Amino acid sequence: MKRCTVCGEKFIPNSNRQKYCSDCKKKVLKEQRDKARDKYYRKKFGNNEK
Ligand SMILES: [Zn+2]
């Protein structure tokens, strides 16, 4: 049993490097995807943020 570093929930890791429960893993992966996409768009269209 390991403890999720995000929500603190106990979970059984599929690999010994897994840090998140399956719920948080989904969220974290999505966030990473969103960030990567964000970076990509910023690069492509320039940084238009104020
Ligand atoms: Zn979690």
Q: What is the pLDDT of residues 1-50, one digit of tens each?
A: 999 999 999 999 988 889 999 999 999 999 999 999 999 999 998 866 66
d(CA 21, CA 3): 8
Per-residue pLDDT, 16 = 82
The reported pLDDT for the residue numbered 17 is 87
Distance from Cα 47 to the centre of ligand 1, integer Å: 33
Q: Which residues surround ligand 1, an ion (CB under 5 A)?
A: 4, 6-7, 9, 21, 24
Spatial separation of the C-alpha atoms in residues 36 and 34, rounded to whole Å: 5
Whether residue 50 lies inside any domain: the answer is no
Structure tokens at 5: 């570093």
Residue 19: closest CA among 5, 1, 8, 33: 5
pLDDT given at position 49:
62
Q: Give the model's pLDDT for residue 11.
A: 95
Domain residues for the domain of 9 are: 2-45
SS3 10: strand
Between the CA of 11 and the centroid of ligand 1 the distance, in Å, is 8
Structural domain count of the chain: 1
Q: How far is the centre of ligand 1, averaged over its atoms, from the C-alpha of 43 (Å)? A: 32
**In the prediction, which pLDDT does 23 show?**
95
Hey, CA dihedral for 17, 22, 24, 28, is it positive or negative?
positive
